A and B are shown apart, each in its own frame.
Chain A
Amino acid sequence: NAGVTQTPKFQVLKTGQSMTLQCAQDMNHNSMYWYRQDPGMGLRLIYYSASEGTTDKGEVPNGYNVSRLNKREFSLRLESAAPSQTSVYFCASSERWGAEEKLFFGSGTQLSVL
């Protein structure tokens, strides 16, 4: 049972380059999320998808796009990378019991933009 799988684990980009971060979950969860984590700032939500076919902006969506390809996969794209996007990116999916949700995270992608 793999849980949430992210690729790649590490990536170095030059300013202006594009790339896509891949995420897949095998827990049959409806909701999926992309967060970024920066020192001293906690996890900040970039985009989320409440179900297949829907996506919504989070707290820090500028410079990113997402695709919910199917129920399992949720990708994050940087069209023109900037140094401010240097961060650790986490994909997550959530399990809901009534009004409560619990997040399951992938192991992260460390991205450096030079």
Chain B
Amino acid sequence: SQKIEQNSEALNIQEGKTATLTCNYTNYSPAYLQWYRQDPGRGPVFLLLIRENEKEKRKERLKVTFDTTLKQSLFHITASQPADSATYLCALDPRDNYGQNFVFGPGTRLSVLP
């Protein structure tokens, strides 16, 4: 069956450390993968998109990698801050319906402790 997993439901790290979140998928061949941030009581907000032919993408303190052989994306937040505490969702384009639909992982709730 097709599914997306994110490494853990919750992750606690100390302020200043690097947070690493994992997204694994099976039985998809996505053209690209996205990461979203969701705060309590709010809708997800787009952060980064990485294409299948890109190994790595950076935006400020965020870094995303994409390994299509391992079927895995890693999301890193360097020099983490308490304001980074949120749930992070990965989403992929399943390459059917020409990108009309997205498939989301269940999310990882990150807590950055001061």
Contact = CB atoms under 8 A, between A and B. Distances in A.
B44 interface: yes
B32 A100 contact: yes
A102 B99 CA distance: 10
Interface in B83-98: 89, 91, 93, 97-98
A106 to B, nearest CB: 5
B99 A42 contact: no
Interface stretch (B11-19, B58-66, B70-78, B102-110): B102-110
B104 A42 contact: yes
Nearest to B36: A103
Given A42-B89, A108-B43, A103 B102 contact: yes
Contact of A101 (B4, B89, B99): B99
A74 interface: no
A83 to B, nearest CB: 22
Nearest to B31: A99
Contacts of B43: 4, 90, 92, 105-108
A40 B42 CA distance: 17
B34 A99 contact: no
A25 interface: no
A40 B106 contact: yes
Contacts of B106: 40-42
B67 interface: no
Contacts of A104: 46
- 7 A-B pairs closest in CB distance: A105-B43, A43-B104, A42-B104, A42-B106, A102-B46, A105-B44, A90-B43
